[in-house]
A and B are shown apart, each in its own frame.
Chain A
Amino acid sequence: MNRRTTISFAECTARERLALLVDANSFHEWLPPAQRVTSTHLAQLGVPSAFDDGVAIGHAQLAGRTVFIAAQEGEFMGGGVGEVHGAKLVGMLRRAITGTERPHAVLILAESGGVRLHEANAGLIAVSEVMRALLDVRSAGIRVVVLIGGSNGCFGGMGIVARCADWVVMSDTGRLAMSGPEVIEASHGVQEYDSRDRALVWRTSGGKHRWICGDCDVLVEDDVMAFREAAIAAISPDGDSSQPRPATLITLESLEQEHALLTARLALLPDHVVGDEAVALWKLYGLGNAGDVAEMNVESLLTQRPTGSQI
């Protein structure tokens, strides 16, 4: 086994992730911080703004192929999507279709709590514009890959956006969901969801759970190079084709399959479960040693993805 120094993806900033994920020195940023494209709404509220509004976008090379790539910065307002932040993502996605240079694929390093509440209305509309732009990119045959491994997870509208992509890569420490545990606890009490129970939060939204269920396609360790390898694999052509690996077509048939999968999942888990619901679901999916998942490393979990989630 190769020994190398592992760099935690979760602990990197958005720009560090970008620099390490793509080919060395190949990232070229659009609207970089020097241009100071900031949120005027935050300024109006007296809240500090960022010169990139919490997201970096641009083009880069990945294993020698041109990709468009975005990275959300979780340290700035939790990666929340405001008007400018959202418009930068939309601009990058539209450029993939309308620009002179067609990228091999579009990558989004998602880390976000969802809509930025300080500019809530604009953020909500912006996320829906990102969804539509992303689906336009897929419809044009360009593959969209979302990578999730930041410590703030991928929540709210961005959790929906991630599931609109062709391919999702997560680390075991990554989280993908809709509402955060704090919001659910505030709404329905600690007995509904104890947000301080880290193990419960990870069983409910963490990378291993999402991988067992098939909500992410690839599970990696919290290691930037593992993300890079997964990203390269995600955009590499099948076999020895020289053509870009195309987007998966969204058709009535593919959505009927997705519908059957989600309906079966809903029916699979009984209303009342003795013990932990996540562990029960994993068992129902056919994972033999479901009780040991928390202690398992990624490598050993990868040897036993149940077939039940791949209906």
Chain B
Amino acid sequence: MNWNELATALFGSDHTIAQEGDFLTGTVQFDGGPLAIIGTTNHAPIGVRLALKQARAVLDTVAGHPGCPILLLIDTQGQQLRRRDELLGINRAMAHLGMCIDLARRSGHRVLGLVYDQALSGGFITSGLIADACDALPEAEIRVMRIPAMARVTKLSEATLTALSKTNPVFAPGVENYVAMGGVRRLWNGNLQEALRAALSDAPTEDTRALEGEQRGGRNLAADVVRRVLAAA
């Protein structure tokens, strides 16, 4: 879904979210209270500059609007694949963004991620995946890599990977797979305003994703391994 359609459905056509290049920002009113919007569009590649823009918006929210919930609107093709970004320390800029979001969480802001279009690897890990909870629209796409590219890297046939992806969610793209693994909490089916209201009201503050993945049968090893480490002699 186009970000503006989504924003209009959620906050009305007079919403005050502004687009500047690939960057989205604004503060809207939702259910009578302020909600900070920080996001990206156009399947943005997240380079140093865009990571810092998002971090700036998070820091401004923490400094200027204590406790204001934050909605991260996610549409990214992943990290910027440029040598210059590597030289400038893109991993540090992304860690900085992740730590800004983490600070917001710890300072009493509820931080919610919403994958409204697509989310890939490096662009996702320091946004939705480090929020209190990450939801997605049903038509969103989440992946680390497409199956053909994955086949090349792993030297396994596309047919094998496609077949396995139907029985084991860890291999293949797909928003349902991320729900099954606990990485995405739920999909926003039906009325979007109701979905947002629910999402803000029951966002967990602890990281319970491994347990959810276990309960949903999509990630059967992680929670058990953590328990075994905690109990190991």
Contact = CB atoms under 8 A, between A and B. Distances in A.
Partners in one complex: yes
Interface of A: 30-31, 37, 39-41, 44-47, 57, 83-84, 86-88, 90-92, 94-95, 98-99, 115, 117-129, 131-133, 135, 139, 156-157, 159-164, 176-179, 181, 183-184, 187-188, 192-193, 203-205, 209-210, 213, 215, 250-252, 255-256, 258-259, 262-263, 265-266, 269, 277-278, 281
24 contacts: A31-B225, A37-B225, A44-B164, A87-B210, A87-B223, A121-B142, A121-B181, A122-B222, A124-B121, A125-B183, A125-B219, A131-B102, A179-B86, A193-B82, A193-B86, A203-B87, A210-B89, A250-B103, A252-B62, A255-B59, A255-B96, A265-B88, A266-B88, A277-B84
B181 A122 contact: yes
A121 B94 contact: no
Nearest to B58: A255
B60 to A, nearest CB: 10
Nearest to A158: B91
A258 B90 CA distance: 13
B83 A124 contact: no
A116 B183 CA distance: 16
B69 interface: no
Given A129-B209, A133-B207, A87 B59 contact: no
A273 B107 CA distance: 41
Given A127-B125, A178-B90, A163 B95 contact: yes
B95 A164 contact: yes
Interface stretch (B16-24, B36-44, B149-157, B193-201): B149-157
A160 B126 CA distance: 9
Contacts of B229: 30-31, 57, 87-88, 90-92, 94-95
A125 B182 contact: yes
Interface of B: 48-49, 52, 55-56, 59, 62-63, 79, 81-96, 98-100, 102-103, 106-107, 121-122, 124-126, 129-130, 142-145, 150, 153-154, 156, 160, 164, 168-172, 177-178, 181-183, 207, 209-210, 213, 219, 221-230, 232
B125 A262 contact: no
B81 A187 contact: yes
Contact of A124 (B90, B183, B210, B225): B183
Contacts of B182: 125
Contacts of A133: 207
A213 B79 CA distance: 21
Contacts of A162: 91, 95
Given A87-B224, A91-B229, A259-B96, 9 more contacts: A91-B230, A119-B170, A120-B171, A163-B94, A178-B86, A188-B82, A259-B100, A262-B89, A266-B49
Contacts of A46: 156
A87 B222 contact: yes
Contact of B219 (A83, A115, A127, A209): A83
B59 A132 contact: no
Contacts of B143: 120-121
Contacts of B125: 124, 127-128, 131, 157, 160
Contacts of A161: 95
Contacts of B230: 91, 94-95, 98-99
Contacts of B100: 255, 259
A117 B153 contact: yes
A99 B122 CA distance: 31
B56 A259 contact: yes
Select the residue from B85, B122, B225 with max chain A CB neighbours within 10 A.
B225
Select the residue from B106, B170, B210 with max chain A CB neighbours within 10 A.
B170
A281 B83 CA distance: 14
Select the residue from A87, A162, A251, A263 with max chain B CB neighbours within 10 A.
A87
Nearest to B120: A124
Nearest to B180: A121
Given A87-B226, A164-B99, A266-B52, A120 B145 contact: yes
Given A160-B94, A178-B90, A84 B153 contact: no
Contact of B88 (A121, A139, A269): A269
Given A87-B210, A129-B209, A269-B88, A179 B81 contact: yes
Given A124-B144, A252-B63, A278 B87 contact: yes
Given A132-B207, A178-B122, A252-B63, A118 B154 contact: yes
Given A176-B91, A255-B99, A30 B232 contact: yes
A41 B170 contact: yes
Contacts of B55: 255, 259
Contact of A45 (B85, B90, B107, B164): B164
A162 B228 CA distance: 25
B94 A178 contact: yes
A269 B88 CA distance: 9
A109 to B, nearest CB: 17
